[in-house]
Chains A and B, each alone.
Chain A
Amino acid sequence: MMTLQAFLIISAALFCCGLYTVMTRQNGVAVLMGVELILNAANINFVAFAHYLSHVMGGQIFAIFIIVIAAAESAVALAIFLRLYANTGSVEIDTADRLKG
C-alpha cells in the first residue's frame, strides 16, 4: 500500500487542488493558500523520490530549502496584501491593476 505510486498520486491530488484554488479564487490570500498547496505537493515528490529511488539526503535538503523559500514568499506576499487592502479597500487581485498602461 505504501508505494511510491501512492505518494505520487497524493502529490498529484494536492497539486491539482492548489492549481484549482489559484485559478478560481479572487481573494489574494486564498490564492496564496493554493500556492502553499502546490509547494507541498512538490515537497512530497522530492522526499518520496529520495526515499524510494536513492538513499542520499539531497531530496530532503531541497525540501527544507523549499519550506524556507515558502515562508519568505508568504511573508512578503501577505505584507503586499496588507498594503493593497490599505490602499484599495480589498484584497481581490483584480483590483491591483494600477500599473496597467
Chain B
Amino acid sequence: MDLSNINFPTDLVFLWIAAITVGAAVLVCLLPNIIHSAVSLLFALGGVAGLYLFLSADFLAATQMLVYIGGIMMLLLFAVFLSNRIQDVKLSNPARFQLPAAVLCILLFGVLSLVAVTTPFPVKETKYLPTTATIGELLMTRYLLPFEIASVLLLAALIGAAMISRPTRKNPALDQEDGK
C-alpha cells in the first residue's frame, strides 16, 4: 500500500470503518462477557455494511443492516438472555485451547495476507453504479431457481425453528394411550 497518494476524506473514512470492523471482530473473540461480545459483533457487522458501500454494493449494505443487525443480532441477544443464568454472567463465555488457537489463527492470517498481497490480480477499472435494479432483474430472470429455493429454505427453517423451540407439552390423551 502506498501511503504517499492518500485521497484524504475517502481514505480516512475507509480506514476508520476498516479499523472499527477489525477491532470489533477482535473484541468478539477476546471479551470474556458474552453480552459484550454480542454488542461488539453488532459493530463488526455494521462495519461490514460500511465496507459494502465502498465496494459499490448499496443494496447489499442495506440488506446487511436489515437482516444481520435487525434480525440475527436480535436472535443472538434473545438466545443469550434466555439461555444464560444472568447471575453468573461473568463466567458466561469460557474459553479453552487459547494458545494453540491463537498461534494457528495468526499463522493463517499471515498466509492469507501474504497471498493477497503477492498475487497479481487482473484488476479492472472500478465504477460505482446503483445496483438495486440490476439485482432485482437478475433475481427474477437468471437466478430465479436459487431465489425460489432460498424462499423454500427460509420457510422450512421458520417452521423447523418454531417446532424445535416450542416447549414440550404434556398431552394427557397420549399418556393414557401409553399406559394401556
| Residues in chain A within 8 A of chain B (CB atoms) | 1-10, 12-21, 23-27, 29-30, 32-34, 36-37, 40, 43-44, 47-48, 50-55, 57, 60-61, 63-65, 67-76, 78-83, 85-86, 91-92
Contact = CB atoms under 8 A, between A and B. Distances in A.
Contacts of B21: 10, 14
A17 B26 CA distance: 6
B83 A68 contact: no
Interface residues of B, number: 86
Contacts of A29: 34, 76, 79-80, 83
Interface of B: 1, 6-7, 10-11, 14-15, 18, 21-22, 25-26, 28-29, 34, 37-38, 41, 44-45, 48, 51-52, 54-57, 59-60, 63-64, 67-68, 71-72, 75-76, 78-80, 82-84, 92-98, 101-102, 104-106, 108-109, 112-113, 116-117, 121-124, 126-127, 131, 134-135, 138-139, 143, 146, 150, 153-154, 156-158, 160-162, 164-165, 167
